């Protein structure tokens, strides 16, 4: 069963559309860096503008995602040291489509990434990892980010 994935600048998605994702307790459980932030329209739009600025600063960045015309979340690549770090944050009703969305984003953004290594950082709360291996990622240790532990995976030859 196919899906129609469209990508958009984050700022082009209205704030009220972001709030159910950014404040969703199941989503936040896997986002330890969000802390106790209660997202408002203003905070969501400032956050979106910061994410979009990565396109100007780095030549790549994250996208807002719509699946079959419905807002699903955000995903894409962000500069983390010399790596392009891949992130994907979806509303729970789209969690079963994460692998297909990730593959689409990898194919779509490969040219803008060049030959830089690609990494993924996941909190230990994420336990479903089979899709990472299917994408070619291997465990690459752990790291502490702002006092939170993350598992690191790396795709050595994108």
pLDDT band at 35 (very low <50, low <70, confident <90, very high): low
Angle between helices 41-58 and 15-22 in degrees, nearest 10: 90
Question: The pTM is what?
Answer: 0.87
Side-by-side strand order, sheet with 83-90:
5-8, 62-67, 70-80, 83-90, 118-122, 148-155, 138-145
Judge whether residue 1 has pLDDT over 70. Answer: no
Q: Which two tokens stand for residue 90?
A: 């979806």
Q: Which range, of 4-13, 86-95, 96-105, 148-157, averages the lowest pLDDT? A: 148-157
Give pLDDT, residue 156.
Answer: 66
The predicted model gives 125-130 an average pLDDT of: 70
| Angle made by CA atoms 58, 63, 66, in degrees to the nearest 5 | 170
For tokens 């830089």, the residue is 116
Judge whether residue 123 has pLDDT over 70. Answer: yes
Sign of CA dihedral 110, 111, 115, 117: negative
Give pLDDT, residue 72.
Answer: 97
Give pLDDT, residue 121.
Answer: 87
Give pLDDT, residue 32.
Answer: 61
Judge whether residue 153 has pLDDT over 80. Answer: yes
Give pLDDT, residue 101.
Answer: 94
């Amino acid at each position: 069963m196919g899906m129609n994935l469209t990508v958009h600048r984050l700022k082009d998605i209205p704030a009220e559309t972001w709030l159910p994702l950014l404040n969703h307790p199941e989503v936040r459980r896997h986002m330890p860096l969000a802390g106790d932030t209660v997202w408002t329209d203003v905070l969501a739009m400032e956050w979106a503008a910061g994410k979009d600025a990565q396109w100007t600063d780095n030549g790549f960045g994250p996208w807002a995602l719509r699946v079959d015309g419905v807002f699903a979340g955000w995903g894409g690549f962000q500069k983390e040291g010399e790596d392009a770090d891949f992130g994907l944050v979806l509303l729970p009703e789209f969690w079963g489509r994460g692998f297909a969305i990730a593959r689409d984003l990898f194919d779509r953004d490969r040219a803008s990434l060049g030959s830089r290594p690609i990494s993924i950082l996941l909190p230990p709360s994420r336990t479903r990892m089979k899709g990472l291996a299917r994408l070619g990622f291997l465990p690459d240790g752990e790291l502490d980010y702002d006092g939170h532990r993350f598992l690191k995976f790396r795709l050595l030859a994108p």
